[in-house]
Structure 1
Amino acid sequence: MRAILIAIAATLAASPAFAAGDVFFSLTNTDFVVLLAFILFIAVLIYFKVPGMLAKMLDERADGISKEIDEAKALREEAQSLLASYERKQKEVQEQADRIVENARAEASRAADQAKDDIKSSVARRLAAAEEQIESAQASAVRDVRNQAVNVAVAAARQVIADQMTASESNKLIDAAIDEADRKLH
């Protein structure tokens, strides 16, 4: 209320009517009429408690802004905690990815070493199998040569015996072979 009275006094003191020296408190003076209207307006505002309503509205608005600021702070803190959580998770995922890559590299190295060992053993088995086949082929060739030599020797012996043998010696050999067979079978 004091502020209003001070504002009215300042308005009256600064009026051009005081400077001109005319009578200020006359209804013909427009400054006085404006001053009365202003005072009446202020009085109506005070009567209807407009300053209190304005103060209440401003207080409510200030409370609302304060609540919004508190909510914004809470949201900011929540966002910061979420950001920190996501950063931790990202770091953990990156570490896990690094471990997976390292394990994959180690596994690939082990698999490559195993493959080399498998290839070496496969080559060794194939070489051994080839050597066995070569030995088998050599043995077969030796057998074939021996069989052929035996056949040639038998044929040569037959020819020699046939040329030297007479019919009576042939009959003796046949009888001896039959006796030998009879002995072995019984």
Structure 2
Amino acid sequence: MANLLLLAAAAEGAHEVEPIALGMTPGMWVALSMAVLIAIMVWKKVPGVVTSGLDSSIAEIRKQLDEAKSLRAEAEALRKEYSDKIANAEKEAADMLAHARHEADAIVAKAETDTADLVARREKMAEDKIAAAERGAVAELRAKAADVAATAARGLIQANHDAKADKALVDGAIAGL
């Protein structure tokens, strides 16, 4: 019968006829199959499974977001801690450098003072040695001069004095006592 309808429609040539099975057009069959599929899905509780799956995914994503927030907070705290440590280290390094410079200046000043004292002591020692050498030279010169004078006086006395002159000198010395 379907063939007859198709032939009759083709003879008319006006428009095409849709096939019909059990009194339903193809669009109706698609609608019926979709309704049956949806009914089976509702009966098997597929929307609940999908919803629970989505809820668990949402919960997992929220958990990951919370974990990410806590990790970010930890990272910020660590960054702040390390920036504070770096600032403290820079301050300590500057303090150490200033302390080292102060100590170096103190050491240089002490070395200069010690050097000046050493030079002064050495100069005094040299002056004392020169003065001692001068005194020794003067004493030696006086001793030589005294020896020369005594030798010259002996020679003069021997040449100019005789026994008579000696007697007169001894008598004068005795009378003076």
Q: Mind listing any 5+ residue stretches in structure 1 that lack a counterpart?
A: 1-19, 170-186
Work out which of the residue numbers 54, 79, 96 in structure 1 matches 2:92: 96
Equivalent residues in 2 for 1:154-169, closer than 5 Å: 154-161=150-157, 163=159
Comparing 46-55 and 25-34, the one that deviates more: 25-34
Q: Which residue of 1 aligns with 2:41?
A: 45
Are positions 1:128 and 2:124 aligned together?
yes
1:48-90 CA-to-partner distances (Å, cap 9, x unmatched) read 2222111111101100110111111111111112211222222
Instruction: Name the count of aligned residue pairs.
Output: 149
Contact 1:45 1:51 in 2 (8 A): yes
Please give the secondary structure, in 2, of the residue aligned with 1:44.
helix
Q: TM (normalized to structure 1)?
A: 0.67
Q: 1:46/1:153 Cα in 2 relative to 1: closer, same or farther (>3 Å)?
A: same
Please give the secondary structure, in 1, of the residue aligned with 2:120.
helix
For the aligned residues, what is the CA RMSD? 2.9
Q: Following the alignment from structure 1 to structure 2, what is the Cα–Cα distance between the partners of residues 107 and 88?
A: 28
1:14-51 CA-to-partner distances (Å, cap 9, x unmatched) read xxxxxx88477757744443333333333332232222
1:71-128 CA-to-partner distances (Å, cap 9, x unmatched) read 1111111111221122222222222222221222222222222222112211211111
Equivalent residues in 2 for 1:116-155, closer than 5 Å: 116-155=112-151
Identify which of structures 1 and 2 has the higher relative contact order when contacts are C-alpha pairs closer than 8 Å and 6+ apart: 1
1:112-171 CA-to-partner distances (Å, cap 9, x unmatched) read 2222211221121111111111111111111121122122223333434555677x89xx
- Kindly, what percent of the aligned residue pairs are identical? 32
Q: Mind listing any 5+ residue stretches in structure 2 that lack a counterpart?
A: 1-15, 165-177
Q: Following the alignment from structure 1 to structure 2, what is the Cα–Cα distance between the partners of residues 24 and 118?
A: 125
Q: 1:149/1:89 Cα in 2 relative to 1: closer, same or farther (>3 Å)?
A: same
